Amino acid sequence: MNQHSSIEAQDRPARLTVGVVGAGRVGPALAASLQLAGHRPVAVSGVSDASRRRAGELLPGVPLVPPAEVLARADLVLLTVPDDALADLVSGLAETGAVRPGQLLVHTSGRFGTAVLEPATRAGALPLALHPAMTFTGTSVDVQRLAGCPFGVTAPEELRMAAEALVIEMGGEPEWIAESDRPLYHAALAIGANYLVTLVAQAKELLAKAGVRAPDRMLGPLLGAALDNALRSGDAALTGPVARGDAGTVAVHVAELRKHAPQAVAGYLAMARMTADRALSHGLLKPEPAAELLDVLAGPAPDGADAGRSAAGQATTAGERPSSATSSATPSTEDEREHDAPHDVDTPDDIDAPDTPATPGTEDTPGTEDTSGTPNPPTSPDTPDNDPGTPGPSGSPNPGPHGGDS
């Protein structure tokens, strides 16, 4: 039993048979954790070599079967597929009659609440959204890391106790998230975890270009202290040239990045503006140095787009405190270009994506049809696996706080 499984016997879910649809990095780990709590994994779907290997390692002896067969065998089904595949998967399973009344249907998407499970709910399923706010490696270490892991929980009120009990049995700590708040909740985790990885990787690349032989060792103590201070103190932990209003240093940074890593300029300017915003709001950055800083952050503005410089100059002339770094400094055309965000946070990341089960009367739905026109049971091809969790300073995979997958 996991260490947080201290719930009363009457609140503990009955021992359940457990199935997994999507043998990515998340599903097998959760099923293995439920197994430690006394539940019994009975089926898992997965097609790729990586997912089959993962299922074999974390759920030895559990048969690999198609998604519809997983639902036929299990009382509790974990739908651990990518966010964009979830709605179609649920609809297909419901329309092909795979969902059984009274069956617990759990998805692990950070983005969605239980509304995405509505087709299955109409078929009699009991919907739960349990999102572990942790990154996953696809190894047994994930099961250990679930101890104390926060889960974003959304469920109908009558199922809330059961949802929270399942999280506690997996060693997690349930955090109730309202249905309408799920997208904001997930966006916050993406900013805090997914984009942190991007920033750290970029910092390592720049240090390597600067001749640092072990960028990870140089960054480790600094990042650890910064994260700890930020979690403890919030904006009061801000340090560095932007928080001090050191416009000359920031100008040198931008010039060097344009020379050695032009792809990093837009991100640096965006983060500097956000940092200046927060430093202004918290009283760390004073109006006069803020105006000079915003002048630098406006950057070379092609096509005469110098609104940031004008706004900063007006603030200095009038002696006013700039209301916001981002509102005062209009980004240049180059800086406005958006880049694709990393996938989920999922959020949990790296979850297996079965094809959408074929639905009657649709020829273009993934899956195959037999000669009678009746869809065959859904198949479960996998999505490519992403890289394991980002190593931390010690070299071990980063345990979160996420995902989020995500």
- The helix-helix angle for 247-260 and 195-209 (nearest 10°) equals 80
Q: How far apart are the first and last CA of the chain?
A: 25
Flag whether pLDDT at 336 surpasses 90.
no
Flag whether pLDDT at 215 surpasses 70.
yes
- Cα–Cα distance for residue pair 81/351, rounded to 1 Å: 5
Provide the pLDDT for residue 299.
Answer: 66
Could you tell me which of 280, 281, 300 has the C-alpha nearest to residue 289? Answer: 280
Measured in whole angstroms, the distance separating CA 386 from the mean position of its chain's CA atoms is 13
| Burial tier of 5 (Cβ tally within 10 Å: 0-12, 13-18, 19+) | middle
Residue 295 token pair: 């002048």
Bigger pLDDT: 387 vs 103? 103
Task: Give the DSSP letter string of 226-263.
Answer: HHHHHHHHGGGG--SHHHHT-HHHHHHHHHHHHHH-GG
In three-state secondary structure terms, 141 is helix
Q: 298-314 pLDDT, tens per residue?
A: 866 433 334 333 333 33
pTM over 0.95: no
Region 305-324: mean pLDDT is 38
- Cα–Cα distance for residue pair 22/380, rounded to 1 Å: 8
Measured in whole angstroms, the distance separating CA 280 from the mean position of its chain's CA atoms is 29
Residue 337 token pair: 């270009």
At 284, the pLDDT band (50, 70, 90 cuts) reads: very high
At 352, the pLDDT band (50, 70, 90 cuts) reads: low
Provide the pLDDT for residue 47.
Answer: 80
Region 335-354: mean pLDDT is 38
Bigger pLDDT: 391 vs 256? 256
Flag whether pLDDT at 355 surpasses 70.
no
β-partners of residue 173 are 150
Which residues are within 8 A (CB) of 375 and not within 5 positions of it... i.e. 6 or more apart? 96, 357, 358, 359, 360, 365, 367, 368, 369
Measured in whole angstroms, the distance separating CA 322 from the mean position of its chain's CA atoms is 34
Could you tell me which of 341, 357, 363 has the C-alpha nearest to residue 45? Answer: 357
Provide the pLDDT for residue 14.
Answer: 72
Asked whether the beta carbons of 347 and 358 are under 8 A apart, the reply is no
Task: Please compute Rg for the chain using Cα positions.
Answer: 25
Measured in whole angstroms, the distance separating CA 88 from the mean position of its chain's CA atoms is 20
- Cα–Cα distance for residue pair 93/98, rounded to 1 Å: 5
Region 203-228: mean pLDDT is 98
* Cis previous bond, 399, omega within 30: no
- Cα–Cα distance for residue pair 117/106, rounded to 1 Å: 9
Provide the pLDDT for residue 307.
Answer: 35
At 60, the pLDDT band (50, 70, 90 cuts) reads: very high
Provide the pLDDT for residue 334.
Answer: 31
Looking at every residue in the chain, the average pLDDT score rounds to 79
Flag whether pLDDT at 363 surpasses 90.
no
- Cα–Cα distance for residue pair 147/143, rounded to 1 Å: 8
